[in-house]
A and B are shown apart, each in its own frame.
Chain A
Amino acid sequence: MVRLVARRTAWSVLVLFAASTLCFVIVRVTTDPLTVTRASLNRGDVDPEAAARLLADERDRLGLHRPLAAQYGHWLAGVAHGDWGESLESHRPVAADVRSRLWNTVQLIAFGIVLAVAVAILVGVVSGARQYSAADHALSGLSFVALSMPSFWFALMAIEVLIYFPRHALHLDHPLLYSVGLHSPSGGLLDYARHLALPVMTLSLPLVAAWSRYIRASMIDALSAPYVQAATAKGLSRRQVLLGHVLRNALIPFTTVSAVGIGQLFGGVIVTEAIFSWPGMGQLLLQALSDGDTNMLLAWLMVAATFALGLNLLADILNGVLDPRARS
């Protein structure tokens, strides 16, 4: 077990290193680090001589005259020491911005996962236990629809149905739920929930759909296993068999699947955060993209890669713990 963990961790570090190279290449091939400076010098009527001087200074400051490999080495050495450089746009340390944004995104993702897991297990158990029942057909149909919908479309419709319509029909002064950003600093728990509801719902919808299908299948699979028949023969009630034996066994593969799925969520939050003005990592990426802030882009990609790798590693380890056959 220890060997497995050590081996997988070593591989992850290696992949992370490779990812850093790939990220650096992607960002630097597509984006010129002088973009931010150029953009600001192109505004207003800056004296051309002064502009040329300011641009040359920035080029020197960023060390852009050196070969790309040397610049990569410099950046990587900084990152290894926890120095992510400063934002080219705001000149604030990248790490500080990332930290505050990451915390907001983590809140969104965490609640999204809790909701998705709870609903997915519920839906999966209901439809898995009664295969081909009316409830199963209805839930399966809904899952397919949810998986086939652009998530921003769902979000816009949700805003319409859950905020716009009730407010206008009932003439409320304040909307029932909010579609803009974080809770107000003074607001309590209820205020927090009213802000979180829609973004969390949007983020978890495709997860619920995919995971409930998975749990349903695992349930069906487990129901036909010999130990279930044995348990039933022993005289345990259907409820006891389902929850005590079937679900437990069905959840084992699900833990690894969900860990890998969660690792991919960074892509999903971009759209959700944009619609709900959620001040998290997704918004940070969009801002960095429109500014051409290469330092911020690099940090963003590295955080996303580390997050995904970490969860893949967790999936591997969980797999090893829960399924002894995988340890070899």
Chain B
Amino acid sequence: MTIVDSGALTADGEDRAARPLKPGEPAWKRLTHHRLAVVGATVLLVLALGALLAPVLAPYPVDPLLDRAQLAQRFQPPSSQHWFGTDDLGRDVFTRILWGGRVSLLIGISVAAAATAIGTAVGTTAGWFGGWVDEALMRCTDLLLVIPGLAVLMIAQHGLGESTGVIVVVLSLSSWPTIARVVRAEILSLRQREFVEAARATGASAWRVVTRHLLPNVVGTITVYATLVVGGAILAESALAFLDFGLPAPTPSWGKMLAGFKGSSGTSTAYLIYFPGLAILLTVLAVNLVGNGLRDIADPRHPGSVRRGDGASSRPRR
């Protein structure tokens, strides 16, 4: 799935378009010097605000009464009244884009949250304990990585029906292994470091060492991958909608709006696929830019380093 593709994105060289960092500078401040990341974050903020404030901002009701007068408004091209035109039921597309952001972002964020939680727990456990625990957990992640998530999602939807819940659960299940691998690799290398040895020597419990000493050092990397899962999940939702496996109506989602008019390219109603497509493109692009910026910050090594040994770029060494 797309998530894996964006995983490779993080194996990227830095893209710092700003001055080199001073050690000890707070992360947010460093992020603000990453121009593209700032652009991405701003776009995301605008989109998120648009989605949150949709009830206030939307010029038309999102769920109007579909009577004859309403239906007669269908297929109106973009105009000053309907900025993005109207759809097949005469509904305002701009209104639906605003509301659709809620669903698309909700899916992206919940999948990322769930995948990060599971991935971090599994990766930390495997990296910390090592030995057979590690081997067993890593084989489980292998197992989930070899079965295509998109196919499983479609099979699940066939058996369980359309619902946002099914999409979120299955996408989370197929996204966490990548994060688990990355976290495990980081924990493995951190475990050998002096400060961890020192903490253990003072008699701190394993729980304390992991939560107080190890995880804070991995948070940067985890955040990077979590942002990429957000983008991957939004793209996966649209791919599913294209294959007729979507969210139930009347919930507007960008993927569903885009897929619903997939046949209109090259005709007078092509605007119906331009706007939701742009919304998806813009959101995922913004998320990826922020992730890219975060990656630069999370990497304390010299500029231009490739993070060999992180899970998505190459397989963990053993």
How far apart are the CA atoms of A300 and B285 in the complex, in Å? 33
Which of B11, B143, B146, B242 is the one whose CB lies under 8 Å from A152? B242
B265-296 CB mask vs A (1 if < 8 Å, else 0) is 11000100100010011001101110010000
Q: Is B124 an interface residue (CB 8 A)?
A: no
Does B139 lie within 8 Å of A15, measured CB to CB? yes
Closest residue on chain A to residue B149 by CB atoms? A267
How far apart are the CA atoms of A224 and B14 in the complex, in Å? 14
Does A150 lie within 8 Å of B315, measured CB to CB? no
Q: Is A301 an interface residue (CB 8 A)?
A: yes
Does A206 lie within 8 Å of B2, measured CB to CB? yes
How many Cβ-Cβ contacts under 8 Å join chain A to chain B?
A: 199
Does A214 lie within 8 Å of B11, measured CB to CB? yes
Closest residue on chain A to residue B282 by CB atoms? A148
How far apart are the CA atoms of A220 and B301 in the complex, in Å? 14
Q: Is B231 an interface residue (CB 8 A)?
A: yes
Q: For residue B151, which residues in chain A have a CB less than 8 angstroms away from its CB?
A: 266-267, 270, 285, 300-301, 304
Q: For residue A261, which residues in chain B have a CB less than 8 angstroms away from its CB?
A: 4-5, 8
A26 CB, min distance to chain B CBs, angstroms = 6
How far apart are the CA atoms of A216 and B8 in the complex, in Å? 12
Does A308 lie within 8 Å of B243, measured CB to CB? no
B273 CB, min distance to chain A CBs, angstroms = 7
Does B280 lie within 8 Å of A315, measured CB to CB? no
Which of B5, B8, B9, B281 is the one whose CB lies under 8 Å from A145? B281
How far apart are the CA atoms of A325 and B285 in the complex, in Å? 37
Q: For residue A209, which residues in chain B have a CB less than 8 angstroms away from its CB?
A: 5
How far apart are the CA atoms of A284 and B6 in the complex, in Å? 27
Which of A160, A253, A316 is the one whose CB lies under 8 Å from B266? A160
B237 CB, min distance to chain A CBs, angstroms = 9
Knowing A26-B152, A30-B158, A217-B13, say if A153 contacts B273 (CB, 8 Å): yes
Q: Is A128 an interface residue (CB 8 A)?
A: yes
A287-308 CB mask vs B (1 if < 8 Å, else 0) is 0010010000100110011001
Interface residues of B in 281-318 (CB under 8 A from A): 281, 284-285, 287-289, 292, 302, 304-306, 308, 313-315, 317
Does A292 lie within 8 Å of B158, measured CB to CB? yes
Does B315 lie within 8 Å of A145, measured CB to CB? no
Q: Is A29 an interface residue (CB 8 A)?
A: yes
A38 CB, min distance to chain B CBs, angstroms = 14
Knowing A27-B155, A31-B159, say if A257 contacts B11 (CB, 8 Å): yes
Does B147 lie within 8 Å of A301, measured CB to CB? yes
**For this complex, into which size category does the number of interface residues on chain B fall?**
35 or more
Interface residues of A in 270-293 (CB under 8 A from B): 270-271, 274, 285-286, 289, 292
Does B238 lie within 8 Å of A266, measured CB to CB? no
Q: For residue A326, which residues in chain B have a CB less than 8 angstroms away from its CB?
A: 317
Q: For residue B317, which residues in chain A have a CB less than 8 angstroms away from its CB?
A: 325-326
Closest residue on chain A to residue B239 by CB atoms? A271
Q: Is A83 an interface residue (CB 8 A)?
A: no
Stretch of A17-25, A180-188, A236-244 contacting B (4+ beta carbons < 8 Å)? A17-25
Q: For residue B146, which residues in chain A have a CB less than 8 angstroms away from its CB?
A: 15, 19, 263, 304-305, 308-309, 312
Does B243 lie within 8 Å of A274, measured CB to CB? yes
Q: Is B148 an interface residue (CB 8 A)?
A: yes
Does A216 lie within 8 Å of B13, measured CB to CB? yes
19 contacts between A and B (CB under 8 A): A19-B146, A19-B147, A30-B158, A148-B285, A148-B287, A150-B238, A152-B239, A152-B242, A152-B262, A159-B266, A160-B270, A206-B2, A257-B8, A261-B4, A261-B5, A264-B1, A266-B151, A271-B239, A274-B243
Interface positions of B (Cβ within 8 A of A): 1-2, 4-6, 8-9, 11-13, 15, 17, 139, 142-143, 145-152, 154-156, 158-160, 231, 235, 238-239, 242-243, 255, 258-259, 262, 265-266, 270, 273, 277, 280-281, 284-285, 287-289, 292, 302, 304-306, 308, 313-315, 317
> Given known contacts A264-B148, A319-B315, what 11 new A-B pairs fall within 8 Å (CB)?
A26-B152, A150-B238, A150-B239, A150-B255, A217-B306, A260-B4, A263-B146, A266-B148, A267-B149, A270-B150, A301-B148
